[in-house]
Copies of this chain bind each other. A is one copy, B any other.
Amino acid sequence: VAAITMPAPLPTTAADRQLTTPFPHHVLSVKQFNRRHLHQLFQVADEMRTLVERMGSIDLLKGKILSTMFYEPSTRTQCSFMAAMERLGGSNIPVSIEQSSVKKGETVADTVRCMECYSNVLVIRHPEKGSVANAAKFAKVPVINAGDGTGEHPTQALLDLYTIREELGTVNGLTITLVGDLLNGRTCHSLVQLLSLYNVTLRYVSHESLRMPASIVQEVAAAGITQTEHTDLNDVIAETDVLYVTRVQKERFASVEEYEAVQHKYVVSLATLANAKSNMVIMHPLPRVNEISPEVDYDPRAAYFRQMKYGMYVRMALLATLLGHA
């Protein structure tokens, strides 16, 4: 275990975010959110959960249209937003980007200016970092970033946080362990940035070559959060309240041998959980390949399928808030 000693804090930190900032118009980055925003959003998400469980859907966004513009596919995220919109009484236009004007050379800016003529809110995924924020400059209607390559996927982080809150009742005081590919996993980066608004302890478990980037570690440290790095999950499993698992991709390693040598260390099985708390939870942004054994699925601590349902409630809350109906 190596405690991370950090250089002097950077000027812009999570703590700097003013609590008086209004709720974002476009949702592009987790850095736009302060604790008041999150509190407000999650309270609406709680209401949405109650309403959906009781009635299936409501008419809050009747007459509103959400267009999902996915420049790279993501079934789970797209369907989650579509279900959220339907359950709010609104409508969806899923734009078939692959077979579209893009091929005729149209810029994302022009496609956005087109789709906003028909829509009340846009959800965009695009493989290039920064592209969604750029697209948002051309839109009068709210734009939600559903993933911009190595950039961010803010609604995933929001639903991760909401899952922790719903499963464990609070975020403060928890020890949260992130395991897998912490270098490339934008999900992890966004989540720890949001977590640094709370009073948590972070454990990072990964192969040496896949450690959390220094820039993220610095930001989190600047918020006064304790972070430690590990290569063995056994070191921290006993104290873990939330185990956040991500996929380790073969392609990230220099050789297949190197991958196979370490890969088993980051697979979560019932054996891994032998010393885990009885009330901890296991999360995963999904899709899961083999980093969580199927035997774990039936353990009540496996929260990764419930996580998707929380995601729908958070996205309902977000859509309702952005469109001024929450």
List the interface of chain A (C-beta within 8 A of B): 55-57, 62-65, 67, 73-76, 78-80, 82-83, 86-87, 91, 93-101, 103-106, 110-111, 113-115, 117-120, 286-289, 305, 308-309, 311-312
Contacts and interface: CB of A to CB of B under 8 A. Distances in A.
Contacts of A100: 73-76
Nearest to A57: B63
A99 B73 contact: yes
8 closest cross-chain pairs (CB), A and B: A56-B63, A83-B118, A75-B100, A57-B63, A73-B99, A106-B287, A101-B287, A86-B91
Contacts of A115: 79
Q: So how many copies of this chain end up in the complex? A: 3
Name the residue in A55, A57, A79, A103 with the highest tally of chain B Cβ atoms < 10 Å from its Cβ: A79
B82 A309 contact: no
A74 B286 CA distance: 27
24 contacts: A56-B62, A57-B63, A63-B87, A65-B86, A74-B101, A75-B96, A75-B97, A76-B101, A79-B95, A79-B115, A79-B118, A82-B118, A83-B118, A86-B91, A94-B94, A94-B96, A105-B287, A106-B288, A110-B286, A110-B288, A111-B287, A117-B305, A118-B308, A118-B312
Given A100-B75, A113-B305, A56 B64 contact: yes
Given A106-B288, A115-B79, A287-B101, A73 B96 contact: yes
